[in-house]
């Protein structure tokens, strides 16, 4: 089975996370590497470790909510975001609040064209965005952390690609304003 095809249905609902991770491991490593590229340069967490941590959380789920490749990757990207946030919190706690972990958001499909942002500030901004518009928060998570395309994001959320594009633009603008130094 070729796991790189976007609409490849995953095996029956009873399949284990072990099977699904093995099937999509290369794709999960690509997502993890993308997440870590946006982290600080001397990050100690490696893509394999991030995939392994996400796997542990996938395996702990009682009622997984995936039935195709895109939905599985959406769940995995959300879990990778949680791992990175927990890792940053632990690191900052260990340093007693010092040395925030900046991530660079300069790539074309990402949140802002200019600055570095710290991962905890981004997480807090996404929490605030969730209270305003949970769909926009989910779009940011899928596009930024999950690396999903406009079409894949639309498929996961059950909305049109045009709606994803519009909401993505709005969410990027809102987050840019929230994360800019002037609003701090």
In a domain, 28, yes or no: yes
For residue 166, the model assigns a pLDDT of: 95
**Residue numbers of the chain with a pLDDT score lower than 50:** 1-6, 8, 13, 96-116
Within a domain: residue 4? Answer: no
Task: Give the closest residue to 82 by CA, choosing from 120, 110, 34, 46.
Answer: 120
Q: Which domain holds residue 70?
A: 17-183
pLDDT of residue 91: 74
Q: Please give the pLDDT value at position 34.
A: 76
Q: Is residue 93 part of a domain?
A: yes
The pTM (predicted TM-score) of the whole model is 0.58
pLDDT at 167: 95
Residue 10 lies in a domain: no
Q: Residue 3 falls within a domain, yes or no?
A: no
* Exposed / middle / buried, residue 89 (Cβ in 10 Å: 0-12, 13-18, 19+): middle
Kindly state whether residue 131 falls inside one of the protein's structural domains.
yes
The predicted structure's pLDDT at residue 162: 96
The full DSSP string for 83-94 is HHHHHHHHHHHH
* CA-wise closest residue to 147 among 46, 29, 3, 61: 29
Say if 47 falls within a structural domain: yes
pLDDT of residue 17: 61
Count of the separate structural domains present in the chain: 1
Q: Is residue 104 part of a domain?
A: yes
């Amino acid at each position: 089975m070729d796991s790189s095809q976007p609409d490849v249905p995953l095996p029956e609902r009873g399949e284990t996370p072990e099977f699904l991770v093995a099937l999509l491991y290369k794709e999960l490593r690509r997502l993890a590497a993308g997440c870590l590229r946006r982290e600080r340069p001397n990050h100690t967490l490696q893509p394999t470790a991030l995939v392994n941590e996400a796997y542990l959380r996938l395996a702990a789920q009682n009622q997984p909510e995936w039935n195709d490749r895109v939905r599985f990757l959406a769940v995995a990207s959300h879990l990778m975001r949680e791992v990175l946030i927990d890792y940053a919190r632990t690191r900052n706690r260990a340093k007693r609040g010092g040395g925030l972990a900046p991530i660079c958001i300069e790539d074309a499909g990402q949140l802002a064209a200019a600055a570095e942002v710290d991962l905890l500030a981004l997480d807090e901004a996404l929490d605030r965005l969730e209270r305003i518009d949970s769909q926009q928060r989910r779009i940011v998570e899928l596009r930024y952390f999950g690396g999903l395309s406009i079409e894949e994001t639309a498929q996961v959320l059950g909305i049109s690609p045009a709606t994803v594009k519009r909401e993505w633009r709005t969410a990027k603008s809102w987050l840019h304003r929230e994360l800019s130094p002037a609003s701090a």
